[in-house]
Structure 1
Amino acid sequence: IHQFSVTMANVEIGPIITSYNKYRDLIAPYMTNECLSGIFFMVTSGGMTLLNKTVISVYGFNYPNIIMTMQMLVTVFIFRLLWLIGIITQELHLLKDDKQSICFVAIYYLHTILSLNALHGLNIPIYGAIKRCSSLMNLILSVAILKKSVPGWRRLAAIFMITGGCIMAGSGDLHFDLKAYTFGFTSIVAQGLYMTLAEKLANQGNSIINLTYSCALTSFPLFFYMAYIFEEFQTLEWENFIYNKLFIVMFTGLTLGGTLLSLSLMLSSKINSALATSLLGSFKTVAQTICGFLFFPDVVPTLPIVSGITINIVGSFIYTHSKYQPEKKRKQ
């Protein structure tokens, strides 16, 4: 039996281990902090998009300020709880610069509210296509505000392919809604400003934890106040939702997911840069678009949509290859 086991190990297990080591060495250069933070952001962002669309459009809970009020409240509670039990060891505090804090919160508010209003009127593939146009905005802001150098020609080509594909996909929308498109394109500017400012604040020594906590704590009163101003609390008919068990599950996931999304966005903006975070999100668009076609009835696949998404995917692969592929010339 022992001899048989040794023989089987030499014949069966040996090639498996060799093959495993080969593929491990192949993918190891890609498993960097930048890549993992980008994947974390893509998963949380894609999941939150689907949950937001389901809650807002399918269940008709179109109360963006109430949604964000609950998300910020839960984020603050979770962070304080993690600090009390010792998982978060650093002291939680607000940003020291009041002007930067106010600007940061105001831009964050515009980004989230504009995005939620756009998602309500757009189908998921078109929404994702429009949001991907933020790549070009982040490129402009990273050079103008953060004084970064212009990326190489391969990355520039990828950016314009992604943006061009997004515009082409958006042009094939058979249910054009000017108001929703206005919200969508305006949210691109707010998203670019928000991510660039988050990167700048992180570079000034602010931790990811404190950026997320400070943003949630200071924006919570703003979302709550705006929910009252826009009469969301007054017009909400709670009895239409609180007895729907599936809605409660969806809304709970949406509320808890807001914490992960805020943290992943901050993390990716610091480790991966705002521009790279936006571009890596193009991979999320693929799965997000497939889910949109399969599970939401408001999507009609047209030639511009299919062609645009294809160009977007190709551009994403070009960018990712140029960013993460180990360059032998630099090692020499």
Structure 2
Amino acid sequence: MEAVRGRAPGIAVAVAHGVFSGSLNILLKFLISGRHFGFLTLLQLCTCSAAALGLETLRRLGRVSVPPFGLGLSKEFAAVCVLSTLQSTLTLWSLRGLSLPMYVVFKRCLPLFTLAIGVCVLRNGAPSPGVLAAVAITTGGAALAGAGDLSGDPFGYATGVLAVVVHASYLVLIQKTSVESQHGPLTAQYAIAVMATPVLLACAVISSDAAAVWSYPGWKDAGVVALFLSSVAIGCAMNFTTYHCTYLNSAVTTSFVGVVKSAVTITVGMLAFDDVAPSALFVAGVVVNTVGSVTYCAVKFFEIKKKSSYEHLEGGGGGGDLREAPPAGEAGVDREAGGVASRATTDKDAAAGDYLGVWRSVRQLRLAKGGGLVDNMEQQSP
């Protein structure tokens, strides 16, 4: 499993998650601040219902391998569903009260909370010094950038902090579920979307969003309609890549993907909106954040490469296909039973067995001196 991480699938889905997440933040800020769209519960409802209906249709057509929704799936993903709904709600509310760059600053603290919660929940060992250093640098950069802008709405700051804590818990729970569940990320998105849709529908009715949205004057503008539909579509894609990236990589890696993509988001926010001016502290914090993100990527790359090489030695002895040959005695039994094995084949098997015996002796001596090659590797950080 560890050898797969860091290769093409994990890298591809991490990049896709960064692109979708950054695009969604920008679109939502345009929609909420630029077009004064305040029907946030309705936006969540449309995103969840679109994912649920789309996946259900594909399942019935046999295009995706997703089990039908039932009591088993609801029990397995109920906790993730609660945190997912709460996290998206807090995110939308914090975007309403914070400037886009300041919202990104809050999100840059996500690796710290994810790491801390993951160590407590997953209990899979302490993170490596390199990962700790990367998280410390990133969090320090976020604090430095935030010190340059303390003019936001207090409600926005409160929801921003809560959004980060809930988001971190959400990612850790996804990673925990990926280990304990036999289902993949597509099933997770399907189950969560189906469970969240009726809850969000009730919330939309109670909050009067479902009734008031029809009087929103922005529907006459084609640009608003395009922004709304794009936000729904990209929201579905971002949710899937969140699950997929966490399944393939880890919760901390998914949180760092958000840090890496936020530089572009900050630049677009400063150019597109006039609710924040780039101060020297803010720019310095962004630079420090970027250094921390690059540090994490480098640390994880070398950790994965090192552990993959050890697993290679442990399982293959330098890359050769050293399959265990049957002992000479067993070869003789097979020969007598079948009556078709030749003397030359038996000699060849015996020679291979002698060679493997010598190789195993050397390998066991190395293990006795230094312990198991893979077992001594540092455990995967959350």
TM-score when scaled to structure 2? 0.75
Partner of 1:208: 185
Aligned match of 1:104 = 80
1:185 maps onto 2:158 in alignment: no
Do residues 35 (structure 1) and 18 (structure 2) align?
A: no
Decide whether the 8 Å contact of 1:95 with 1:214 is kept in 2. Answer: no
Distance in 2, matches of 1:178 and 1:127, equals: 13
Q: Do the aligned residues in 2 keep the contact of 1:280 with 1:320 (CA within 8 Å)?
A: no
Q: For 1:314 and 1:325, how far apart are their aligned partners in 2?
A: 17
Q: CA 1:271–1:94 in 2, change beyond 3 Å: closer, same or farther?
A: farther
- 1:75/1:258 contact within 8 Å kept: no
Whether the 8 Å contact between 2:100 and 2:269 is mirrored in structure 1 is: yes
Taking the TM superposition and a 5 Å limit, the aligned residue runs for 1:227-242 are: 227-242=204-219
Seen in structure 2, the aligned counterparts of structure 1 residues 150 and 244 have a Cα distance that, compared at 3 Å, is same
Cα deviation for residue 309 of structure 1 reads 0.6
User: How far does the alpha carbon of each residue in 1:146-182 deviate from its partner, in whole angstroms, 9 at most, with x for none?
Assistant: 1122221111111011111112211211532211000
Q: Are residues 47 and 94 of structure 1, via their aligned partners in 2, closer, same or farther at CA, if it must alter by over 3 Å?
A: farther
String of CA shifts for 1:12-50, please: whole Å, max 9, x gaps.
xxxxxxxxxxxxxxxxx9653222221111011001111
Quick check: 1:154 aligned with 2:130?
A: yes
> Structure 1 residue 99: deviation in Å?
5.1
Match of 2:291 in 1: 314
Which residue, 252, 255, 264 being the options, matches 2:232?
Answer: 255
1:120 aligns with 2:96: yes
Partner residue, 2:42: 66
Amino acid at match of 2:221: N
Residues 1:222 and 2:191 are matched in the alignment:
no
Q: How many Å apart are 1:91 and its aligned residue?
A: 2.4
In 1: Cα distance, 2:267 partner to 2:57 partner: 37
Per-residue CA deviations over 1:92-122 (Å, capped at 9, x if unaligned) read 4356265553322221121011110001111
CA distance, structure 2, for counterparts of residue 225 and residue 312 of structure 1: 40
Q: Highest CA radius of gyration, 1 or 2? A: 2
Give, in whole Å, the separation in 1 of the partners of 2:97 and 2:66.
41
Give the deviation of 1:65 after TM superposition: 0.6
Counterpart amino acid of 1:278?
A: S
Say if 1:327 and 1:68 are closer, same or farther in 2 by CA, change over 3 A: closer
Q: For the Cα contact (< 8 Å) 1:37–1:272, is it kept in 2?
A: no
RMSD of aligned Cα (Å): 2.0
Aligned length: 304
Q: Is the 8 A contact 2:77 2:188 kept in 1?
A: no
Pair 220,90 (structure 1): closer, same or farther in 2 beyond 3 Å: closer
The secondary structure found in structure 1 opposite 2:72 is: coil
CA distance in 2, matches of 1:326, 1:182: 36
> Where do 5+ consecutive residues of structure 1 fail to align?
1-28
Q: Residue 38 and residue 328 in structure 1: after superposition, are their counterparts in 2 closer, same or farther (change >3 A)?
A: closer
Q: 1:74 to 1:327 in 2, by over 3 A?
A: closer
State the SS of the aligned residue for 2:36: coil
CA shift for structure 1 position 234: 3.5
The runs of 5 or more residues in structure 2 that have no matched partner are 311-382
Query: What's the CA shift for 1:210?
Result: 1.0
Structure-2 separation of matches of 1:326 and 1:152 = 9
> Would the alpha carbon gap of residues 101 and 95 (structure 1) be closer, same or farther in structure 2, given more than 3 Å must change?
farther
Q: Is the contact between residue 138 and residue 274 of structure 1 (CA under 8 Å) also seen in structure 2?
A: yes
Mean Cα deviation higher: 146-155 or 260-269: 146-155
Residue 252 of structure 2: which of 250, 275, 278 is its match? 275
**Which letter maps to 1:70?**
C
Paired AA for residue 193 in structure 1: S
1:175 matched to 2:161? The reply is no
Classify the secondary structure of the residue corresponding to 1:321: helix
Verify the 8 A CA contact 2:6 2:304 in the aligned structure 1: no
Cα 1:95–1:324 change in 2 (3 A) is farther
Partner amino acid, structure 2, of 1:41: H
For 1:242 and 1:59, the matched residues in 2 are separated by 10
Alignment of 1:17-56 (within 5 A): 31-56=7-32
Match of 2:272 in 1: 295
Amino acid in the other structure paired with 1:292:
G
Equivalent residue letter for 1:300:
A
Residue identity opposite 1:123 in structure 2: S
Question: CA–CA distance in 2 between the matches of 1:106 and 1:232?
Answer: 21
Q: Give 1:237 deviation, angstroms.
A: 4.7
Give the alignment partner of residue 165 of structure 1, picking from 137, 141, 144: 141
| Contact kept? 1:95, 1:101, Cα under 8 Å | no
Within a 5 Å distance, the mapping from 1:127-138 to structure 2 comes to 127-138=103-114
State how far apart, in whole Å, the 1-side matches of 2:265 and 2:71 are. Answer: 34
Q: Distance in 2 between matches of 1:327 and 1:242?
A: 50
Instruction: Calculate percent identity across the aligned residue pairs.
Output: 25
Which residue number corresponds to residue 281 of structure 2? 304
Match of 2:377 in 1: none
